[in-house]
Amino acid sequence: MEAVNPVQATDLFSPQFGQITEKDADAGIEQPDWPTLYQRLLNFGVSYGDLERIKAALTDQVSFSRALGNLAERWKRFAERAWKLGRLETPREQWKRAADYYHYAQFSLPDSFLKRTFQRASRACYKRAAGLFDPPAVLCQVPFRTMQIHGYLRIRRPGAPCVILIGGIDSAKEVELHYLAEVFLRRSCSVFYFDSGRQRELCRTALGCGLEQVVSAIIDFLRNEPGVGVTPIGCFGLDVGAHIACRAAACDSRINACIAMSGFFDSVVLQQWPASIRATFLKAFGAPNLTLAPMTGRMKAPLLLVYGTSDPLANNDQIKALREWACGPVETLTLEDAERLCCNRFNECLPAMGDWMTNWLLHKNSQEVTLI
């Protein structure tokens, strides 16, 4: 194992490390909420031991990104070495780990060559591991207007219900959506997951014809897949992906159930978001007036709203508006003190979401559906 050389002993949780320097501000770097980010990293593939190991080398956000990037490169080399020896499990584990580390290496960087390099490396490592997963993840290109929607399809068994997972502002199909998809795979569902906010051209084109049509195009594609076909469809989304999921469920009757995690009713809430998330949203979508109001009266599918009370994207007025907007069964899972994506309460919310979705898809009976 290669050692990470500490540059300067810096406590990841110290107030000094969380401050934004003038140099950072000029470069467009916003220091993240480190304790919250720690929870997210640990739940989405970065080991506690590695995080503790690199703390000593941290001096600023860029040093953190480079330290994670160096670890990602090391895991990628281990995977390639094991692959050449004819092994299967170790390459699968290490390529996936490298994808996670590369993703979080770019996470808080401003748009730059370094950020794009880490993003490409994360996608490439996941692609190498994809065929080794159980079930395998097949990279698909779904036709939509003049472009392709890139997503992964994993078929649990032919004809199983299928859950479409839609990424949010700062999530990736190769990382966050992969782990969330496992929740539904373990409950005998197939899954298809794709990015929303990270495909800028797709976002701008979809705005012109309706974001919900992206999901309808995916359902059309899945209907023609031999392993999926005509089967119950669920939709799951994170923040912007949750908004798209609600739009799609209201407009496409083929969607049988919908989960919105940290979703919003309209983009008025944008002004309350952290600056980094707001900037990412504006880069992807421009400055649209996104609202579910024109679809009032059309949301018949069961809807589960999931929020953490410490999530900066959560907004009580938006939650109330979503509940009043839905015409079918609607439930709210609110987790006290849960942070962004409820990462610090995964042991509670993931089983609840998985059971809620699969019960609606398999039984179509609200009496079979229970929340914790």
Question: For 288-316, what is each residue's pLDDT tens digit?
Answer: 678 999 999 999 999 999 999 988 777 88
In a domain, 99, yes or no: yes
Three-state SS at 191 = strand
Distances (CA, A) of 151 to 167, 199, 210, 222, 272: 10, 11, 19, 12, 30
- pLDDT band for position 257 (50/70/90)? very high
Residue 358 pLDDT: 93
In a domain, 1, yes or no: no
pLDDT higher at 111 or 127: 127
Residue 306 pLDDT: 95
pLDDT at 21 over 50: no
291 and 353 co-located in one domain = yes
Domain boundary pick from 114, 130, 146: 130
219 and 319 co-located in one domain = yes
122 and 20 co-located in one domain = yes
200 and 152 co-located in one domain = yes
Domain boundary pick from 130, 155, 179: 130
The total number of structural domains that make up the chain: 2
* Nearest alpha-carbon partner for 291 in 315, 269, 266, 270: 266
- pLDDT band for position 17 (50/70/90)? very low
358 and 232 co-located in one domain = yes
206 and 269 co-located in one domain = yes
In a domain, 8, yes or no: no
Residue 129 pLDDT: 98
In a domain, 98, yes or no: yes
What's the mean pLDDT in 240-257? Answer: 95
In a domain, 3, yes or no: no
Q: Model-level pTM greater than 0.85?
A: yes
Q: Highest mean pLDDT range out of 8-22, 67-81, 105-119?
A: 67-81
Residue 57 pLDDT: 67
- pLDDT band for position 272 (50/70/90)? confident
Domain boundary pick from 85, 113, 130: 130
For the stretch 158-211, pLDDT in tens is 999 999 999 888 899 999 999 999 999 999 999 999 987 555 555 555 554 567
Residue 298 pLDDT: 96
In a domain, 5, yes or no: no
Range of the domain at 28: 15-130
355 and 221 co-located in one domain = yes
40 and 119 co-located in one domain = yes
- pLDDT band for position 23 (50/70/90)? very low
143 and 122 co-located in one domain = no
| 3-class secondary structure per residue, 225-291 | CCCCCCCCEEEEEECHHHHHHHHHHHHCCCEEEEEEECCCCEHHHHHHCCHHHHHHHHHHHCCCCCE
20 and 161 co-located in one domain = no
